[in-house]
A and B are shown apart, each in its own frame.
Chain A
Amino acid sequence: MLRFTIHRILHVIPTLIIISVISFFIIQLPPGDFLTTQVAALEAQGESIDPAQLEALRVRYGIDDPFWIQYWKWISNILLHGDFGLSFQFQRPVIDLITERLPLTILLGVATLLFTWAIALPAGIYSAIKQHSAADYTISVVGFVALAVPNFLAALVLAYVGFAYFGQSVGGLFSPEYVNAPWSLAKVGDLLEHLWIPVLVIGLAGTAGIIRTMRANMLDELYKPYVTTARAKGLPEGRNIRKYPLRISLNPFISTVGWSIPSIFDGEVIVATVLALGTTGPLLLAALKSQDMYLAGGIILIIAVLTVVGTLISDLLLAAVDPRVRFGKA
């Protein structure tokens, strides 16, 4: 097991290096740079910047340096000083921007994940037990519809319903009067009032996959001889299912749990942007749109690291559960 773990961890390092190079490269692929984006935004508002001034700013920000120099500057600061650089757009250190959004992002991510599991796991088990029943079909249809409807659209529709029928103020995780207020019970209540829309929208969309996996796993197990044996021995049906097929069919689910880690961090970019949530998602989108490379690069790098770490955790969990993996060629 130890050898397997070390091996896996060693694999992570080159993967991360390649990811960081590629992400930094992709951010710079679109034409122009942060400054031209700014100029375009200013022009849309009737302002203009003198080209000479632009050139001077470009030199100051080091935007004209070759790719490798920029990349090296960026990655060496992160590795040696933990410094993710400065966001052009916000004019603040990237790490501050990310950390102050983390608590709400994680709250939203965890709430959504728990909501998804709370809905999807029982629904999957139930639809397997009652295969081909009306309930099975209903669950599948709802799950697939939630998956198929674009999240941002669902969010907008719910926001519009909130506006049109309940006079609710749209956008953000807090009402205007609580946004900059210190934490209090009332503020927590206000947060819960706003949190349900994104949790519902993102959570429901995630259920379909888990429902189908769970249903298929259960169906595989339900008709195996050991279940029949247990049943023949007179074990009550509920206990039988909980004790044997359910445990086994949870294995594939556990082994993919690690993949949820990055999704907790990035907090569903588009939905969060549409609803103006103060999470890292909108930050990433804004950074990509304005070619704010250090900010975008920083977030993508963190997501990449979390993805790789999540996969590592999944691998280890799987190895812990399944001896075939542990003693395989790895």
Chain B
Amino acid sequence: MTMEHRSISRRSLLKFGGGGAAAIAIFGLTACSDDEAPNPFDGNGADAKESPMLTERVEAGDLPELAERLPATPMEVEVMDGPAQYGGTLNRAQTEVGDAGALTAFASVGLLEWNWDSDGFLPSLAEEFSKNDTNTEFTFVLREGLKWSDGEPFTSADLQFTIDDVLRNETTIPAAPFWFSDGDARPTVEVPDERTVIIRYTQPFGLFEKYMCHPAVSNQFLKPRHYLEQFHPTYTDPAEVDAATAAAGFDSWDQYFGDRDNWWTNPERPILGAYQVISAANAQSGTATLERNPYFWKVDPDGRQLPFIDQIQVQVLAQDALDLRAANGDLNFQGNFLGYNSAQVYLQNAEDRGYEMLRWKNDATLLSLCVNLSHADEVLRDLFLQVDFRAALSHAIDREDLNATLLGGLGDVRQPLATETSDYYVEGTGQRFIEFDVDRANELLDGLGLTRGSDGVRQRPDGQPLALVLLYVDSTAGVPTADAFTMVQRYWAEIGLTLSLRPVDPTLYAELRSANDFDIDGTTMPSDDFDLEPVWYIPTGANSHSAPGFGQWYASNGSEGIEPPEEILALMDNWDLLRGAATDDERVEAGRAIVTQHDENVYAIGLLGLPFQPVIVTNDVRGVRDDEPKLSFYYGREGITKPEQISFLPA
């Protein structure tokens, strides 16, 4: 991991500013040089190689020595703000009881992991990773001597079990997820020895490494065979498994297996990450307690076992209570679940309550409008498929006014396309059809033969008035949707278009969309990582935001849905190329072709994006990135700052 560019962070400057220039110079040195690091915590346990909490357990004879717990070559993690001390409980909160996001952020684990810039992989549990030229065979060599949190060895047998008995098993996983399909089949695994794992696809899979770094996917390859075997009928007498299933109140063994395998709700399941749940949030207390994994296999440059913080506590709260908690400085490090609209409250209380509000990036998300390219009504479908029509809609929107009204002019104004921080960014894209130009919009619509009736409303080619319905979920979490769309309604009235707003419940929203029953979809689009979640950009299924009918056609190999026209077929072809790319260059080229096509055709009309994502860090926490990284699902949200290396300041 490279850290040069962050040798002195602004926050460490602020924090140690009181100590004068010398302290700053020392901290500058610690991070850049390999010399013996000066230790600000002398006599405060900073020499210890493990948490005092674990030392106690070793002395009591409950735990082997540190050397026996670590693998032969532990993974070394650079510590952001220099030597740290062990201990402390980090408080967090969330709104959904079943959301395992705290684990994917703070205890993520994978054979590979994202590098500091999140644009490439680092070997993680695997010490070595190689692949063949065609992106069909991926070989991992695991670190030697890795152990599960209960002290049992982690070997290739665990991966073989996970892949053959869980991921490839049609009972446990009825339909293969996108990252584990190989055409209509599923990939296979071979384990030549205890440390080597080979995963094979028959068709090239260009996104494999990305998914292996994706914290919500990577952990799904890592299941503890020695623990889970007892719940799997292949390994244990089916009658016994059924009896245990029934006793636990489940209907079928796979449900019980899934329950036992759930690292968020089952404290007994051994894990490999930095923290293990010791009491689950789905209990009455509504609070999960996570405790450090004594066998965690990462160390700092001095060979001190990570993580530094002993415990994490996560409480399930309603949104209002969560906001007040955050504003009270009760949450030590939190970005997820904090809304932009509460940023003002956070800022006002920051100094009094002892925390700082950092401005991280969001996942380049943009409130946008997707016209239904596969509309069931052929007249509208033909119209929507005309680039001039979509361009006219885009030109008619006064984004400056929108921005000034809704976000005080701070918002992000562009079309929803991959931005500069993405591989797929294409120079010069993102601004087409964006300028506010009612004359141009009218001209384009006139050119399409959409004449205005006596009431000023344009008529469809079949003579009916051009009235469209905008389907969306009312939300004030980001750009307030109702306000934004009401303004769009007004802008479009200027060009002779009647727009009605239809706010619906999230469930109905999903239903209507997959039934191909909408005119325009108002949605927040993550633009950078469209390869990992293509539903906004490429109609790959009935859950597509821009063309569910074509998506269904694609997913069913042409047996259902609506056959797409040439240009959409071209988009799908590029998607197939991207997915099946044999090399990174091919993948990026296909991705850029998709971006270019979106740019030229403005399939989705961008409105406005939030300027930043608030992240709260209390003053006693150190090691959190302040270089405005992305708070994104794909990078493990807060996990992007490698939370195993954050710590509490000495009290």
Contacts and interface: CB of A to CB of B under 8 A. Distances in A.
Contacts of B324: 159-160, 163, 170-171
B543 A32 contact: no
A156 B317 CA distance: 13
Interface string B92-121: 010011100000000000000000000000
Contacts of B176: 53
Contacts of A282: 286
Given A57-B174, A91-B259, A274 B507 contact: no
Given A100-B283, A156-B320, A169 B533 contact: no
A167 B328 contact: yes
A47 B511 contact: no
Interface string A89-130: 111110111001100100000000000000000000000000
A90 B284 contact: no
B508 to A, nearest CB: 5
Interface stretch (A7-15, A34-42, A224-232): A34-42
A286 B317 CA distance: 12
Interface string A264-307: 00000000011110100010001000010000000000000000
Contacts of A46: 363, 365, 526, 533, 632-634
Contacts of B519: none
Interface residues on A, range: 35 or more
B393 interface: no
Interface residues on B, range: 35 or more
Nearest to A167: B328
Interface string A41-57: 10111111111110111
Nearest to B327: A163
A188 to B, nearest CB: 15
A99 to B, nearest CB: 9
Nearest to B541: A51
Nearest to B507: A32
Interface string B515-546: 00000000000100000010100000111000
Nearest to A91: B259
B252 A60 contact: yes
A176 B330 contact: yes
A179 interface: yes
Contact of A59 (B97, B174, B287): B174
Contact of A174 (B178, B258, B285, B363): B285
Interface in B272-327: 279, 282-287, 289, 313, 315-318, 320-322, 324-325, 327
Contacts of A53: 174-177
Interface string B330-371: 100000000000000000000001000000000101000000
Contacts of B511: 31-32, 36
A172 B328 contact: no
A181 B130 CA distance: 47
B191 interface: no
B204 to A, nearest CB: 20
A278 B174 contact: no
Nearest to B525: A46
A86 interface: yes
A236 interface: no
Given A31-B508, A32-B511, A47 B543 contact: no
A83 interface: yes
Given A89-B98, A91-B259, A176-B287, A51 B542 contact: yes
B505 interface: yes
B219 interface: no
A72 B543 CA distance: 32
A49 B179 CA distance: 11
Interface stretch (B66-74, B243-251, B621-629): B243-251
B535 A48 contact: yes
Contact of A180 (B250, B285, B510): B285
Nearest to A49: B543
Contacts of A66: none
A171 B315 contact: yes
Given A50-B178, A55-B175, A274-B320, A40 B506 contact: yes
B91 to A, nearest CB: 5
B159 interface: no
Contacts of A275: 318, 321
A50 to B, nearest CB: 6
Contacts of B282: 90-92, 97
A118 B5 CA distance: 66
A83 B113 CA distance: 43
B442 interface: no
B386 interface: no
Contact of A56 (B175, B258, B315): B175
Contacts of B216: 47
B250 A36 contact: no
Contacts of A177: 89
B515 to A, nearest CB: 10
B174 A60 contact: yes
A266 B444 CA distance: 60
A39 B284 contact: no
A47 B330 CA distance: 29
A284 B509 CA distance: 23
B506 A44 contact: yes
Given A53-B174, A273-B318, A48 B533 contact: yes
A282 B95 CA distance: 12
B330 A169 contact: yes
Interface string A139-182: 00000000000000000100110010001111110101101100
Interface in B531-584: 533, 535, 541-543, 555
A51 B505 contact: no
B91 A176 contact: yes
B533 A56 contact: no
B286 A176 contact: no
A172 B178 contact: no
B514 interface: yes
A210 B294 CA distance: 58
Given A46-B363, A50-B175, A51-B555, A39 B249 contact: no
Contacts of B284: 100-101, 104, 278
Nearest to A88: B98
B286 A31 contact: no
A41 B318 contact: no
A301 B514 CA distance: 33
B177 A50 contact: yes
Interface in B213-271: 216, 248-252, 254-255, 258-259, 262, 265
Given A92-B259, A276-B321, 9 more contacts: A36-B507, A44-B506, A45-B633, A55-B175, A89-B97, A91-B258, A156-B320, A171-B321, A176-B89
20 contacts: A39-B510, A40-B473, A40-B510, A41-B506, A46-B365, A53-B176, A56-B175, A60-B255, A91-B282, A100-B283, A156-B320, A159-B321, A159-B324, A167-B353, A170-B321, A171-B324, A179-B286, A180-B287, A276-B318, A276-B321
3 shortest interchain CB distances as A-B pairs: A56-B174, A40-B506, A171-B321
Interface of B: 89, 91, 93, 96-98, 174-178, 216, 248-252, 254-255, 258-259, 262, 265, 279, 282-287, 289, 313, 315-318, 320-322, 324-325, 327-328, 330, 353, 363, 365, 473, 505-511, 514, 526, 533, 535, 541-543, 555, 632-634
Interface of A: 30-32, 36-37, 39-41, 43-53, 55-57, 59-60, 83, 85-86, 89-93, 95-97, 100-101, 104, 156, 159-160, 163, 167-172, 174, 176-177, 179-180, 273-276, 278, 282, 286, 291
